[in-house]
Amino acid sequence: MSANSATVHNPFSAPGSTAASSVDCSAVARSDMERAAREVESAIAIAKRFPRDQMAAMDRIIQACTRISLAEHSLYAYPRGSEMVTGPSIRLAEAVAQNWGNLQFGIRELSQSSGSSTVEAFAWDVETNVRQTKVFQVAHVRHTRRGQYKLEDPRDIYEMVANQGARRLRACILGVIPGDVIDGAVRQCEVTIKNAAGAPAEQIEKLVEAFEPLGVTSEMLVRRLGHHLDSVIAAEVLSLRKIYQSITDGMAAVGEFFEVEALAAAGDSAPKKGAAALKAKVSGAAEGSAKGSRKKPAGKAKGKTEEPTDSGESDPVGDHVPTFSFAEVADALNKAADADALALAADMIGGVDDQGQREELSALYESRRAEIES
């Protein structure tokens, strides 16, 4: 071997195969690049060959917005200063993109390291070659009422990335589709909701049940509206639907719409039900455990230094797990309206004493998670 050679000869390789590895790698990379280029070229060629009929596409969008199941989840609202900002939700943006045609959109995880993921959301109008992309970081951490903890389960990490990416994907889609098309879809969804079967009183009952897993009680709704729920009108029902969608999509927090602290101070003695009671129980158990962990152990000898323990990430709840009944946890799992509410209910499974019941609740959790993801 030459003295100027930059590599050490592999004694197990066949004669003449010194650079085979680098050649193979470059060949694979070149093949992948060529395939990707051909896919882009073919997508553009098909879009040019079959251009979208804007009138037919708009008809499909309007028709899709007449479905009450889509219209109910199509709008969001959140406060900005003294104004209420409203707009199309993630679900409506996806429905419009699907019916607009010649459009590619999605979320792509570029890399994953050091407890975070680098993610790209994109939307590309293949026909006009207009493209919107957003690259962002997603930390593998879930925040709960009992503090934060790292995500280790690959499925939990996937769900976190998907939830964070959905909002960026919505912005990308709205950036490539004409604004008047989106406005038309929003107006049709509002008309569909107003003309939906059922009186406002019946609709508000369903909204009260939907808000409950989010920690919003009927008393908080009354304070928001300024009158009893019996006298609600259709416009107020539409406004509450937008608020509900905004909270579930993560666009705003409950405290931005409802007087959470004032209600808690005024109604501490009022009995809570369902998921609200479970949240109060978890919060109370967590506070009690945190206070107990701060007390010094009795009978400790003077002058003896306590050795520090390396416990990793701090847990505000400590080692104490609040106790729940099977019925309480099952009720919280069944009433969870989104992934975050379901995750909070899943945290309560460990507080059930019976192993068989915990396994049954875990199966219920998996079933509900599959239902929410679909």
Q: Which residue has the higher pLDDT, 67 or 309?
A: 67
* Least confident range of 143-147, 204-208, 268-272, 322-326: 268-272
Residue 272: inside a domain: no
CA distances 314 to 150, 220, 318, Å, are 11, 33, 8
Question: Looking at the structure, do residues 181 and 202 belong to the same domain, yes or no?
Answer: no
CB 248 within 8 Å of CB 337: yes
Look up the domain containing 168 and give its range.
54-186
Strands 141-144 and 103-113 come out as unpaired
Residue 103: inside a domain: yes
| Average pLDDT for the chain | 76
What would the pLDDT profile of 175-203 be if each residue is shown by its tens digit?
A: 999 999 999 999 999 888 877 756 677 77
Alpha carbons 228 and 236: distance in angstroms, whole number: 12
The mean pLDDT value for 207-222 works out to 87
In the listed set 186, 205, 240, which residue is the last one of a domain according to the structure? 186
Per-range mean pLDDT, top range of 79-88, 154-163, 266-275: 154-163
**Helix, strand or coil, per DSSP, at residue 241:** helix
Residue 30 is encoded by which pair of tokens?
A: 């070149």
Alpha carbons 32 and 30: distance in angstroms, whole number: 5
Residue type, 108: R
Residues 6+ apart with CB under 8 A from 233: 200
Q: Where are the beta strands (DSSP E) in 100-243?
A: 103-113, 116-125, 130-139, 141-144, 147-150
Q: Is the pLDDT of residue 299 over 80?
A: no
In the listed set 164, 186, 208, which residue is the last one of a domain according to the structure? 186
State the pLDDT at residue 297: 45
Q: What pLDDT band is residue 10 in, cutting at 50, 70 and 90?
A: low
Q: Which residue has the higher pLDDT, 194 or 265?
A: 194
Q: Is 362 exposed, middle or buried (0-12, 13-18, 19+ CB in 10 A)?
A: middle
Residue 191: inside a domain: no
Residue 33: inside a domain: no
State the pLDDT at residue 11: 65
Residue 127: inside a domain: yes
Question: Looking at the structure, do residues 85 and 155 belong to the same domain, yes or no?
Answer: yes
Residue 66: inside a domain: yes
pTM of the full structure? 0.55
State the pLDDT at residue 106: 94
CA distances 361 to 214, 329, 343, Å, are 20, 8, 13
* Least confident range of 53-62, 99-108, 315-324: 315-324
Q: Is the pLDDT of residue 48 over 80?
A: yes
Question: Looking at the structure, do residues 145 and 242 belong to the same domain, yes or no?
Answer: no
H or E element that contains 358: helix 355-373
Residue 59 is encoded by which pair of tokens?
A: 């008809």
Residue type, 227: H
CB 137 within 8 Å of CB 162: no
Q: Is the pLDDT of residue 315 over 60?
A: no
Q: Is the pLDDT of residue 84 over 80?
A: no
CA distances 171 to 90, 229, 242, Å, are 9, 35, 18
Question: Looking at the structure, do residues 201 and 127 belong to the same domain, yes or no?
Answer: no
Question: Looking at the structure, do residues 147 and 81 belong to the same domain, yes or no?
Answer: yes
Question: Looking at the structure, do residues 329 and 231 belong to the same domain, yes or no?
Answer: no
Question: Looking at the structure, do residues 81 and 158 belong to the same domain, yes or no?
Answer: yes
Question: Looking at the structure, do residues 155 and 208 belong to the same domain, yes or no?
Answer: no
Residue 205: inside a domain: yes
In the listed set 148, 163, 186, which residue is the last one of a domain according to the structure? 186
Tell me what percent of the residues of the chain surpass a pLDDT of 70: 73
Question: Looking at the structure, do residues 168 and 219 belong to the same domain, yes or no?
Answer: no
Residue 78 is encoded by which pair of tokens?
A: 């959140």
State the pLDDT at residue 210: 87
Residue 80: inside a domain: yes
Question: Looking at the structure, do residues 115 and 73 belong to the same domain, yes or no?
Answer: yes
